[in-house]
Structure 1
Amino acid sequence: MNPFGVQNPEHVDAEYIAANFVEVLTDFPRLKEHGNTFVHGARGTGKSMLLRSLEPRVMILQEKAEKLRDLPFVAIHVPLRTADFGAPEFNRYKGYAVNAIGEHLLAMHIMLRIAQLLDSFQDEISAISASEFLNRFETLFMIAGGSIALGAASRSANDTSAFRRVAEVCERNIFEVRQYLVRQPFLHTETDYQGALAGFLDFLVPLAREVRALEGLPNVPLFVMLDDADNLPIPLQRVLNSWVSTRSTGDICLKVTTQLAYATMRTIDNRIIESPHDYAEVNLTAVYTASFDTYSGRVKEIVTKRLRNAGIQTSVEEFFPLDAAQEERLRLIASEITAEHEEKNADPESRVGPARVRDETRRYTVPRFMREIAGSSRSAHTYSYAGFRSLVDLSSGVVRWFLEPASRMYDRVISEGLETSGEVTQIPVSVQDSVIKDWSAEFLELLTRHSIEISDSQTDLTEGIESLHAHGHETVLYEQLRNLIEGLGRLFRGKLLDPKAREQRVFSVVLRDRPGQDLERVLNLGIRLGYLQRSDNAAKEALGGRRPRYILARRLGPHYKLDISGYAAHLSVMSGDLELAMRNPADFVKSRLRQDDSAENQFSLDLDGAKLEHSRI
């Protein structure tokens, strides 16, 4: 079995989660606190695994408790699928109707998951308290305008638990509401909605209180984990924010994940929920961007655990070996740079300290090697990105971006019969490089494919939908993002090949002015799709504040033949620069390289003038 196989966290069982989840996130304890929490992160950063690791069955398997009653909290995972809440028929409704029906539908989805969880632990819950919970549910559901005919009819079935009957009522009601929404366009006259309208404070909170009272459960707040909340249309995001604003954390704690596309923090009455009063906030992408060692350590633990589960005792560094010949050449180049500085240090006026020598060796070794192989053989693609550390760099803080290529490499070794004695003990460098090259190139190809598919499938069903997803589903935005990425990649490659450039290892830009609406949409789309990451960069000016820094995903490094190792410098740009890149990447690269070359020459003249003035003194 492939130890790096990537599976949808929603579809795997508790045993899989318990065996493969690694808890190394520094902010993980915050998720366990009794309070509302938003967890932001790009697709693949492990948000769903993070939530599912808090489920009762997983925690018991991890020996954090023996029974349900011993847990510090009871957590219910509720995936928010686009198919459930983003369908076109739901988006036709405006105003109070969409708020009321949408809130009811969301509440019923949550109640369904609660009932299913309790049913799976029915042997640990007393029958009397389960029956009381069922009665309380039916009372509140009828008050909300719902029908419990199904629940009453099934009371005589001895093989149906109280919690299963609650789940049946919820499933049937969700189906009825969806049918009402779907059938409205086919009716000659719009019919009034006659179904239930359950809410947060009058339905979910009282039932969460009943869960706390169940014999066999801990008397603690219920953790409701809402996964991928940016799949909700904006009106339902406002409903969810309204739930957060009630601060009902004594009974329900909301743990909400988003894929960096949550469109609003306003409630249905237009108030803004704020941290830390209403919720805590964790941004996984920012955590991994700011602290590479934290992320690298997490990946190493994840990979080690997967290898051990597969019976492979090799270390991660041995399993993903480096290109030995390339490493030797890099060591020689580093020695050459050190020797050059030792020669310069013979002149007292140009002497630099050992820290400066180490810094320049780190910054210029790989660029010099890349220029060397590009100039001599015209085959810069032969640069090897093999090795565990390189694969961690390429994954850009997205765990799935490590596991996906690793899984392909493992399959390639098996299919080509490269394993030893029937066991894979390492991934050859040639296999690593081949998979990495294809995996990097196809990421950029996805943008072109998205543009074509969207253009061909555009229908009037999506017109007028007021959501962030609607802005992203415009062909022009994908084309502009493709151009922007192309411009940045080619510019960074140009800087890398310029031996006169002060900063040769560049992987990000800092935007020095406020972007226009079109540019901001393209940048946000790039962040949401994982082509860019955003962090804040402190301005050098005393009153400059902080500027947004946009980092190119290192997964694109092999495609543009860039140095992905370690820290890289950034370039300062204006909105006009990036807008030009969106329209014409080639003109952007030419203009910027010419501009930077002029600045480098001016910098050199300034240094020469300073040296001359110094000699006169």
Structure 2
Amino acid sequence: MSSDLTKNPFAVQSPEHIAAEDVISLFVEDFADFHQVLRTGHTFLHGARGSGKSMIFRYLEPDCQVIAKKCALHQLEFFSFYIPIKETDLRLTELLRLEKERHGSLALNEHLMVVSFAIKMLASLQRISVHASATAAKDLAAFVDGGLKKLLQRGGWSAEIPAIAAEASFDQVRQMATEVMEEVHAEISQFIQRLSLGRNYTYEGALLGFLDFLKPFTLALRSLPFMPKVPVFLLIDDADNLSEEQTRILNTWISSRGVAELSLKVSTQLRYKTYRTVSGQQIEMPHDFAEVEISNVYTSDRDRYGKRVHDIVLRRLQKANIAATPEEFFPPDKEQEREIEELAAKIVEAFPTEGRGHRARDDAYRYARPNFIRGLGGARKASSTYSYAGFSQLVHVSSGVVRYFLEPAALMWGEQSAANDSKPVLSIAPHIQNKIVRSEANRFLTSEFERITQDETRGPDHRDKAWKLRNLIDSLGSLFQSILVSDDAERRIFSVAFSNGPDDEVRAVFNLGAEYNYFHKSSIGKKEGGGRTDLYILSRRIAPVFNLDPSSFAGYKFITNDTARMMVLEPKRFTNSLRAGSSADLVDPPQGNLFGEA
């Protein structure tokens, strides 16, 4: 491996454009429920933007699997086709009118989806072109001129497939097949666009469906001599971008049988529109599909997430020939940590008479850092000087999303590289780490929030909802900061659950926050017992804005719907109430913690 200490090892690339060798060297598959993705059967993969869904799909593609498993193409245990929804034109403006007027929109939408998926599948075959021989090219050509032609004709397509030269390469044949499908696509695309002219057009082109085209098309590809005779996965990325009608069509496919041969792996950014089919029936777990929620990894399995980030960073450092552990490369502020250790020692010493927990070290872990932050905000009036540096803190701030670690790390590398004046970057100075973390936190609540405000103006109340979300975030930040510097027994609070409610208006604001990654959504047992209630965990990316301890994720508070409404609609009244009294006046006493810690 050649040394390259000038190239940024933390640069984030779009996974579909990363070479297979680089994917294998960078990908870490150690996360909860990864085995569910590899099993036959339909699977939903939910996660916030940047949580690694597309990277997982890239890893599952055949060129990566051949390297990862150290095997030949025909020895693979499954074969995947990658279908990115964002790179299709399935959201043509004219389609919305088509769906509204309902003249054949289901059939035309399914046809458009099927053709778009087939085009992406043929593009995905390029991943195995290096493994394809001249014989494979002839086999594919025979399929195009035979099986594909028959399937298209059965669907009503009347054009001819061009002759394929005998000496055509695998990629040339694949490209010709793609062009044929693009011609089919052009027919429906032009018809849909003509609808905008307001005339009464009649569609007379091909109509292809999942059962009569896409499924037999997929299985026919699998049966070709050069393909492994294994289950096929269709990796449908960013399915949130489908319209509601298209989502119902996809759900209808999921409700069909034959998952041992063909499985749909569907990724979403927590905005999947519906789980109902075109007939109105609801697909259900585990009968119709399995479900994996990557974003929950941080709330339910924090140590595993930390290990995963550690492994990812270590691989990137090794690829850049940097002989340092992640902890050495991202060192903490030594003076700050020394002072916190001194406070911890005092807590241990006073434990026999003033202890609150079961063990002295538990109290030290719980209270030393909050006491340090309280001291900065007290007589020293220097809360903003708390340093968000050190690998462990950076992991916590990333809030369970790998990209939220890598993107700031890339910025840190750039700033450190400039400061080093052409000298190799062997570690990131704590003050640079802190500067970037604080800058990114402020950006998350300013420029990124402005984008949300703009995105959410389409509906009658969406702008108002964005304003309510900002009120809620500011109120919760103030609440958690007041608890952190209080004398409460549990100060490590970053989560709230409802002792009653929430009503529809409050729930909509919390869910909007979860949709845009300002909250992680989970659940816990109800306060009074019997069933579960929603738990909302504030993103630790915001911790520096409110001078919070980013490791404060074990505890939670129950709030009433009235308190939540005050946060959302009357934030000034809420913060004034905090200043006038104590957090106990607005929330219930702590009910425990998320992980059963002492």
TM-score surpassing 0.5?
Answer: yes
Contact 2:540 2:550 in 1 (8 A): yes
1:137 aligned onto 2:143: no
Q: CA deviation at 1:446?
A: 3.2
Q: CA deviation at 1:400?
A: 0.2
Contact 2:63 2:128 in 1 (8 A): no
CA deviation map 1:227-273 (0-9, x unaligned)? 01111111111111100100221331100000011121111111111
* Corresponding residue of 2:512: 525
Once the two structures are superposed, the pairs formed by residues 266-345 of structure 1 within 5 Å of their partners are 266-344=276-354
Amino acid at match of 1:15: E
1:568 aligned onto 2:571: no
- Alignment partners' CA distance in 2, 1:107 and 1:523: 35
Amino acid at match of 1:281: E
Amino acid at match of 2:228: P
Q: CA deviation at 1:454?
A: 4.7
Q: Which of 28, 31, 53 is residue 22 of structure 1 equivalent to?
A: 28
- Alignment partners' CA distance in 1, 2:407 and 2:192: 39
* Corresponding residue of 1:178: 189
- Alignment partners' CA distance in 2, 1:133 and 1:593: 74
Contact 2:155 2:206 in 1 (8 A): yes
- Alignment partners' CA distance in 1, 2:108 and 2:440: 43
* Corresponding residue of 2:54: 48
With structure 2 as the length reference, what TM-score do the two structures score? 0.91
- Alignment partners' CA distance in 2, 1:40 and 1:207: 28
Contact 2:9 2:410 in 1 (8 A): yes
Q: Which of 130, 135, 155 is residue 164 of structure 2 equivalent to?
A: 155
Count of aligned positions: 575
* Corresponding residue of 1:6: 12
Q: CA deviation at 1:508?
A: 0.9
Once the two structures are superposed, the pairs formed by residues 81-480 of structure 1 within 5 Å of their partners are 81=86, 84-94=89-99, 95=102, 97-118=104-125, 121=128, 123-124=132-133, 126-127=136-137, 129-134=139-144, 135-149=146-160, 152-156=161-165, 158-159=167-168, 161-187=172-198, 189-344=199-354, 355-417=358-420, 422-446=423-447, 448-450=449-451, 453-454=454-455, 474-480=462-468
**Greater alpha carbon shift after TM alignment, 434-443 vs 446-455:** 446-455
Q: CA deviation at 1:445?
A: 0.5
**Greater alpha carbon shift after TM alignment, 577-586 vs 318-327:** 577-586
* Corresponding residue of 1:585: 571
- Alignment partners' CA distance in 1, 2:163 and 2:565: 63
**Greater alpha carbon shift after TM alignment, 83-92 vs 238-247:** 83-92
Amino acid at match of 2:149: E
- Alignment partners' CA distance in 2, 1:112 and 1:36: 21
Q: CA deviation at 1:19?
A: 2.5
* Corresponding residue of 2:593: none
- Alignment partners' CA distance in 2, 1:68 and 1:587: 65
Q: CA deviation at 1:486?
A: 0.8
CA deviation map 1:533-557 (0-9, x unaligned)? 01111234333x2111100000100
Amino acid at match of 1:585: P
CA deviation map 1:309-367 (0-9, x unaligned)? 111111110000011111111111111112222245xxxxxx877x3433322221111
- Alignment partners' CA distance in 2, 1:508 and 1:287: 15
Q: CA deviation at 1:15?
A: 3.1
- Alignment partners' CA distance in 2, 1:491 and 1:565: 16
**Greater alpha carbon shift after TM alignment, 511-520 vs 20-29:** 511-520
- Alignment partners' CA distance in 1, 2:194 and 2:156: 21
- Alignment partners' CA distance in 2, 1:394 and 1:410: 17
Amino acid at match of 1:274: E
Q: CA deviation at 1:99?
A: 1.9
Cα pair distance change 1:142/1:391, threshold 3 Å:
same
Q: CA deviation at 1:593?
A: 6.3
Cα pair distance change 1:597/1:256, threshold 3 Å:
closer
Contact 1:148 1:169 in 2 (8 A): no
1:81 aligns to what SS in structure 2? helix
RMSD of the TM alignment (CA)? Answer: 2.4
- Alignment partners' CA distance in 2, 1:451 and 1:206: 42
Contact 1:14 1:57 in 2 (8 A): yes
Q: CA deviation at 1:566?
A: 5.0
* Corresponding residue of 2:37: 31
1:376 aligns to what SS in structure 2? coil
- Alignment partners' CA distance in 2, 1:528 and 1:179: 34
Runs of 4+ in 1 over 4 A off after TM superposition: 592-603
Contact 2:482 2:583 in 1 (8 A): no
- Alignment partners' CA distance in 2, 1:307 and 1:234: 43
* Corresponding residue of 1:613: none
Q: CA deviation at 1:448?
A: 4.3
CA deviation map 1:261-312 (0-9, x unaligned)? 1121111111111111111111111123201011001000000000111111
Cα pair distance change 1:439/1:275, threshold 3 Å:
same
* Corresponding residue of 2:76: 71
Q: CA deviation at 1:82?
A: 7.2
Contact 2:563 2:587 in 1 (8 A): no
Contact 2:41 2:289 in 1 (8 A): yes
Contact 2:112 2:188 in 1 (8 A): yes
Cα pair distance change 1:593/1:549, threshold 3 Å:
farther
Once the two structures are superposed, the pairs formed by residues 596-611 of structure 1 within 5 Å of their partners are 596=582
Q: CA deviation at 1:598?
A: 5.8
- Alignment partners' CA distance in 2, 1:525 and 1:86: 22
Cα pair distance change 1:540/1:183, threshold 3 Å:
same
- Alignment partners' CA distance in 2, 1:598 and 1:116: 59
CA deviation map 1:194-235 (0-9, x unaligned)? 222211110011122212211021112211000011111111
With structure 1 as the length reference, what TM-score do the two structures score? 0.88
* Corresponding residue of 1:549: 535
5+ long unaligned stretches in structure 1: 345-350, 463-469, 604-617
1:273 aligns to what SS in structure 2? coil
Cα pair distance change 1:452/1:270, threshold 3 Å:
closer
Once the two structures are superposed, the pairs formed by residues 483-522 of structure 1 within 5 Å of their partners are 483-499=471-487, 501-522=488-509
2:89 aligns to what SS in structure 1? helix
- Alignment partners' CA distance in 1, 2:524 and 2:403: 27
Contact 1:447 1:478 in 2 (8 A): no
Cα pair distance change 1:90/1:374, threshold 3 Å:
same
Amino acid at match of 1:571: K
- Alignment partners' CA distance in 2, 1:162 and 1:601: 66
